[in-house]
């Protein structure tokens, strides 16, 4: 079967490349951003052999140039159910639940991404996928109209669904099926400059929420950004204006640190693009729509529940005290404050590990393997590290942050979009619509850490037995 069939990692790699090519052709600023990020990454690696060695050790160096995430917004439960089946062909599975209603955005989301370590090393392509929550729209007539427009659309080509069924029954696609699958799947994510509604319907949807208009007025869930991974986000942010790109006022997430944690992100404003609306009476059909933007991110270590709790507390305390205006007022006091408050967050790998704040991948050192042959191993993990038997590397955070995601949504929606929905997370309904439960990201990181430790200890033990 190996020869005839494509594996899911290959299909995902093919798809993420095709998606990037399509977006680059459609949004030239994305291409500019890719170039800037590649330059900054090369420079960062040149200046920091230590970072370079650590990325090499964790297998992240190879994936860096292909690494990116995208985002889409879906309209119905059926679309969410089918997109899960489509992503499964590419080895991408729903991880995490993000409730964005708390931030005034009427959606809830998950991220489709690879889960196995080997798959992540190959190409960690992720798609942040949101589902519209029509029940949060107050106007019941508009809600019904939106629901009926959405019910009538088909965001997948019949052929791509055929391939999904083949995959589900056969367990794999042949190489030629895989290529055709990627071509067909791309259609779902394509931009449509023709709306499926007329201008007055669009305006009504837009008044309910700009996001509602974005989701309901088009043939499909156009990819709204693709984000490359930068090793130094501050340098990329500083370099953006020089390339004619205006970034948002502040970088979302934790402050700059020696030991990066979680995820830092910044974006540039969505483009206003010409749209042809459907003809209706004597109304004009020409208009515009703003949806697509650019974003960059820098990824750091995955935090344990304990580490995450501290992060959430510190971030909330800054956001409570310093509000950033839509035009960026207060940005600098926000940054100073953020840096100050995060001084209580250990900024040292050894401390992050010993205090149980972050996840690490363990491996046996060459010296450890050699000295293991000469006697008993130290009994505790801390001693094994102290005495140089084991080394550890940060496990990269592969997921998203709800507060940051809300900030990214907001910066592209403009000030007028501050809505207050009664905060009501509805994970159970989301999972019902999705057709499966989402994976718990903390469990995935904990498992990766444990597997590495068990493997490293086994290696040390067998080095000892071999010499006994």
In the chain, what is the straight-line distance between the N-terminal and C-terminal CA atoms, in Å? Answer: 43
**Residues 439, 96 contacting (CB under 8 angstroms):** yes
CB atoms within 10 A of CB 317: 13
x/- track of binding to ligand OOG for residues 415-454 (CB under 6 A) = ----------------------------------------
Q: Which residue, 71 or 216, has its beta carbon nearer to ligand OOG? A: 71
198 touches, from Ni ion, ligand OOG, none (C-beta below 5 to 8 Å by class) = none
Residue 276, φ and ψ in degrees, nearest 5: -100, 120
According to DSSP, the β-strands at 226-228 and 68-74 are antiparallel
Q: Can residue 30 be called a binding residue for ligand OOG (CB under 6 A)?
A: no
304 touches, from Ni ion, ligand OOG, none (C-beta below 5 to 8 Å by class) = none
Q: Which residue, 96 or 368, has its beta carbon nearer to Ni ion? A: 96
CA atoms of 198 and 151, how far apart (whole Å): 17
Reading phi first (left if > 0) and then psi (alpha if -120 to 50, else beta), residue 299 is in beta
**Residues 362, 452 contacting (CB under 8 angstroms):** yes
Q: Collapsing DSSP states into helix, strand and coil, what is residue 167? A: helix
**Residues 195, 289 contacting (CB under 8 angstroms):** yes
452 touches, from ligand OOG, Ni ion, none (C-beta below 5 to 8 Å by class) = none
Q: Can residue 188 be called a binding residue for ligand OOG (CB under 6 A)?
A: no
Which residue's beta carbon is nearest to the bound ligand OOG?
405
76 touches, from ligand OOG, Ni ion, none (C-beta below 5 to 8 Å by class) = none
Least Å from the CB of residue 98 to ligand OOG = 8
Least Å from the CB of residue 104 to ligand OOG = 13
x/- track of binding to ligand OOG for residues 48-87 (CB under 6 A) = -----------------------x-x--------------
For the segment 283-302, give every residue that binds ligand OOG (CB under 6 A): 295
According to DSSP, the β-strands at 272-278 and 360-364 are unpaired
Q: Which residue, 390 or 405, has its beta carbon nearer to ligand OOG? A: 405
For the segment 376-415, give every residue that binds ligand OOG (CB under 6 A): 400, 404-405, 408-409
Residues that bind Ni ion (CB under 5 A): 227, 295
> Encoding tokens for residue 439?
């994976």
Q: Which residue, 128 or 191, has its beta carbon nearer to ligand OOG? A: 128
CA atoms of 367 and 390, how far apart (whole Å): 9
Planar angle of CA 294, 134, 413, nearest 5 degrees: 30
Q: Which residue, 30 or 202, has its beta carbon nearer to Ni ion? A: 30
Q: Which residue, 400 or 445, has its beta carbon nearer to ligand OOG? A: 400
Least Å from the CB of residue 316 to ligand OOG = 18
**Residues 100, 451 contacting (CB under 8 angstroms):** no
CA nearest neighbour of 206 among 283, 281, 137, 151? 137
CA atoms of 71 and 409, how far apart (whole Å): 11
For the segment 197-226, give every residue that binds ligand OOG (CB under 6 A): 224
Least Å from the CB of residue 69 to Ni ion = 6
Q: Which residue, 40 or 111, has its beta carbon nearer to Ni ion? A: 111
409 touches, from Ni ion, ligand OOG, none (C-beta below 5 to 8 Å by class) = ligand OOG
> Encoding tokens for residue 303?
């935090």
> Encoding tokens for residue 218?
């088009």
Taking CB under 6 A as the criterion, the residue among 41, 188, 265, 304 binding ligand OOG is 265
Least Å from the CB of residue 388 to ligand OOG = 39
Look at the block and give the residue holding tokens 């500083």: 238
Least Å from the CB of residue 45 to ligand OOG = 24
CA nearest neighbour of 92 among 367, 417, 434? 434
Q: Give 385's Cβ-side CA count (13 Å radius).
A: 15
Least Å from the CB of residue 331 to ligand OOG = 19
CA nearest neighbour of 202 among 107, 285, 100? 285
x/- track of binding to ligand OOG for residues 102-141 (CB under 6 A) = --------------------------x-x-----------
Contact residues: ligand OOG, CB under 6 A: 71, 73, 128, 130, 224, 265, 295, 400, 404-405, 408-409
């Amino acid at each position: 079967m190996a020869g005839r069939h494509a594996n899911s990692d290959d299909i995902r790699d093919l798809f993420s490349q095709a998606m990037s090519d399509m977006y680059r052709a459609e949004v030239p600023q994305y291409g500019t951003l890719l170039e800037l990020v590649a330059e900054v990454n090369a420079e960062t690696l040149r200046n920091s052999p230590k970072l370079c060695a650590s990325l090499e050790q964790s297998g992240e160096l190879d994936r860096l140039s292909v690494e990116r995430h995208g985002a889409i917004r879906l309209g119905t439960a059926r679309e969410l159910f089918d997109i899960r089946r489509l992503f499964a062909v590419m080895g991408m599975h729903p991880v995490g639940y993000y409730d964005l209603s708390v931030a005034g955005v009427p959606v809830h989301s998950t991220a489709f991404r690879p889960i196995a370590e080997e798959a992540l090393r190959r190409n960690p392509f992720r798609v942040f996928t949101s589902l519209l929550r029509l029940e949060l729209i107050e106007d019941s007539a508009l809600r019904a109209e939106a629901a009926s427009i959405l019910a009538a659309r088909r965001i997948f080509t019949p052929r791509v669904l055929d391939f999904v069924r083949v995959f589900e029954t056969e367990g794999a696609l042949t190489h030629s099926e895989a290529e055709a699958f990627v071509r067909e799947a791309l259609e779902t994510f394509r931009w449509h400059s023709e709306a499926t509604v007329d201008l007055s319907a669009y305006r009504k949807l837009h008044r309910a929420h700009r996001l509602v208009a974005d989701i309901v007025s088009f043939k499909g869930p156009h990819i709204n950004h693709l984000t490359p991974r930068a090793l130094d986000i501050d340098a990329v942010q500083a370099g953006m204006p020089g390339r004619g790109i205006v970034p948002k006022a502040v970088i979302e997430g934790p402050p700059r640190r020696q030991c990066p944690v979680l995820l830092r992100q910044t974006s540039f404003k969505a483009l206003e693009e010409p749209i042809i609306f459907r003809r209706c009476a004597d109304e004009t059909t020409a208009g515009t729509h703003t949806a697509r933007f650019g974003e960059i991110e820098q990824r750091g270590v995955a935090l344990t529940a304990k580490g995450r709790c501290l992060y959430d507390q510190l971030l909330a305390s800054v956001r409570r005290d310093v509000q950033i205006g839509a035009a960026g007022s207060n940005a600098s006091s926000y940054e100073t404050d953020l840096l100050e408050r995060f001084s209580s967050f250990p900024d040292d790998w050894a401390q992050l590990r010993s205090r149980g704040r972050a996840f690490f991948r363990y491996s046996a050192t060459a010296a450890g393997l050699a000295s293991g042959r000469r006697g008993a191993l130290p009994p505790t993990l801390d001693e094994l590290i102290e005495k140089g038997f084991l080394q550890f590397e940060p496990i990269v955070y592969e997921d998203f942050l709800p507060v940051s995601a809300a900030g990214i949504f907001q910066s592209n929606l403009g000030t007028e979009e501050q809505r207050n929905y009664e905060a009501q997370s509805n994970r159970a309904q989301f999972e019902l619509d999705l057709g499966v439960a989402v994976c718990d990201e903390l469990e995935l990181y904990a498992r990766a850490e444990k597997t590495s430790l068990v493997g490293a200890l086994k290696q040390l033990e067998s080095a000892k037995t071999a010499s006994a």
